[in-house]
Structure 1
């Protein structure tokens, strides 16, 4: 029987790379995205390899998520996997300079959107049982603070703790939960974070040999295809060029 995976945020970055990797392996796909033209183009391309169902929606819209999931076509109703990829960072300024609307958008997308897709799809994943997998895309920002990470880091810390707690609640169902925590990755994610500033985007990755979306997709594919008795609780990865910064010390005497 063909396996089906539900991927949020599939129109760019990790989500698009995952869609391509799983399609290559013959999995059926349910893909969500806000940008209709991109999603339709991706679905049309990948439908030449496998069965694809696209959902143009924003994961922040609970009602739209409820309706879309309740009305999944029968061919896509039995899920083996959920990849909670939809997420974003907005801005990298210090907290006093940030836009509260940006903070709210990050919370609504990275936390509430993930909650909606997880809770609404849990019955289908539990019905599949052994071997079903929920894969949450976290970040090293949820483990290590850095200037400008504030709310984004907080939302990814939530993803980590939510993943661990979900494992406890799903014990005995056969459903696995994994949290992948990437470091420096080159994708449209950073262009969105920097408000489309291409120069700042380029400077972020210059000479760093960052992780690519295809690397993340391959790692996720590996996690979700482990033997059914194995759960990868969390997996943190960085490019070799990246490491943890030292503790910052204010020497102005004003602290």
Structure 2
């Protein structure tokens, strides 16, 4: 893969086939970036890339060879948005599905590690690199039955925060964006396509949408190089924390 950037800044967005990733790709393209849209679903990610005049890269972030090929095909990287990941299942620890845990740790933690490690040299070489890792309020809180996801997101957040310390003095900024409830494919994927169960997650509240988070990411990417927005937690008005019992509807 070669990326025709014409001297433009390059942003790589993982998980760019839908949801927050696709919305972020559109936002960054509107800000003048050439966006490399990376995701597993070829047809969907190609459609997003075609829409914004970007480059599609079919990549499974947990596949080290695929990630290495992505990095090898890029001449420059100015911004990396680690957005790929997700949740599977919602069970108490005593009934944990180990396969679900393994998938969540591989996609959220190891995927972020592989992509960040592969693109880090180019981010440093840019002279003004930016790594934005989309974690979750699950990276700073816990909730019952969510230990597989919350533990993976805690680990992803710690990875990101450790890297920020390790890169102190290098020309790379790091921002963690931790969204609360966002109505995307997230719950549908968590519940293996069960639309009724997924819809219940948002009953009685007005959740965030993907564009809300993309706007925050765009704001971060537009800050001057000396400004580092360290951790940004974004919740809908109707959510206090990740715990189900703390969600409430203010509208009456």
Please give the TM-score of this superposition, normalised by the length of structure 2: 0.90
- TM-align CA RMSD: 1.7
- Partners of 2:241 and 2:45 lie apart in 1 by 36
1:4 paired with 2:10, answer: yes
1:143 paired with 2:149, answer: no
- How far is 1:94 from its partner? 1.4
Q: Which residue is 1:180 aligned to?
A: 177
1:222-237 superposed matches below 5 A: 222-237=219-234
1:164 paired with 2:161, answer: yes
- Partners of 1:166 and 1:174 lie apart in 2 by 13
Q: Which residue is 2:248 aligned to?
A: none
- Partners of 1:44 and 1:230 lie apart in 2 by 32
1:29 paired with 2:35, answer: yes
- Decide which of 78, 82, 85 is 1:84's aligned counterpart: 82
Deviation sequence 1:36-89 (CA, Å, 0-9, x none):
111122222222xxxx221112101011111221123xxxx2111000000010
- How far is 1:111 from its partner? 0.5
1:45 paired with 2:51, answer: yes
- Partners of 1:237 and 1:18 lie apart in 2 by 15
Deviation sequence 1:117-173 (CA, Å, 0-9, x none):
00000000000123x210001111121111121121111111222222111111111
Q: Which residue is 1:96 aligned to?
A: 94
- Decide which of 113, 118, 121 is 2:119's aligned counterpart: 121
Q: Which residue is 2:4 aligned to?
A: none
Rg comparison, structure with higher value:
1
For the Cα contact (< 8 Å) 2:77–2:123, is it kept in 1? yes
- Decide which of 58, 61, 79 is 2:60's aligned counterpart: 58
- Partners of 1:229 and 1:69 lie apart in 2 by 26
Please give the TM-score of this superposition, normalised by the length of structure 1: 0.89
- Partners of 1:219 and 1:147 lie apart in 2 by 28
Deviation sequence 1:198-235 (CA, Å, 0-9, x none):
11111111231101100000001101211110111111
Moved over 6 A (4+): none
- Decide which of 201, 209, 212 is 2:206's aligned counterpart: 209
Unaligned runs of 5+ in 2: 1-6, 246-252
Between Structure 1 and Structure 2, how many residues are aligned? 239
Unaligned runs of 5+ in 1: 249-255
